Amino acid sequence: MRKYEALIVLNMKGVTSMDDLIQSVADQLKEEGAQITEIKNIGRREFAYESNHIKAGQYVLYTFNAEPSVIRAARERLAIDEQVHYQYYRSC
């Protein structure tokens, strides 16, 4: 298993509970096989320019252990989630 970090920018439009949304993404990562070690809510940030009619997003850093195959599955799964605006993964 390798250690990874995922920076995920969440779309806040229509969200009632940010904690529930952050946990929902963590649950999706766990279902794909990731073992989450830390979740850090970085906070809301304005974008330099509007992206897909969104002016700002909630930045969350997930640290987890997983096999390399989990990254591809997680990317594909989160790509269809309307609340996930952007995702970036890196090996630590």
| Annotated domain spans of the chain | 2-91
pLDDT tens-digit profile of 1-58?
Answer: 999 999 999 998 887 899 999 999 999 999 999 999 999 999 999 999 998 889 999 9
Q: Report the candidate in 59, 68, 57 with the shortest Cα–Cα distance to residue 40.
A: 59
Domain 2-91 matching CATH 3.50.50.60: the answer reads no
Separation of alpha carbons 84 and 81, rounded Å: 6
Q: What is the mean pLDDT of residues 58-64?
A: 98
pLDDT on residue 84:
95
pLDDT on residue 15:
79
Q: 49: helix, coil or strand?
A: strand
The residue written with tokens 């766990």 in the block is: 30
Q: What is the mean pLDDT of residues 68-73?
A: 95
Residue 63 phi/psi, 5° resolution? Answer: -110, 130
Determine contact, residues 25/62, Cβ cutoff 8 Å.
yes
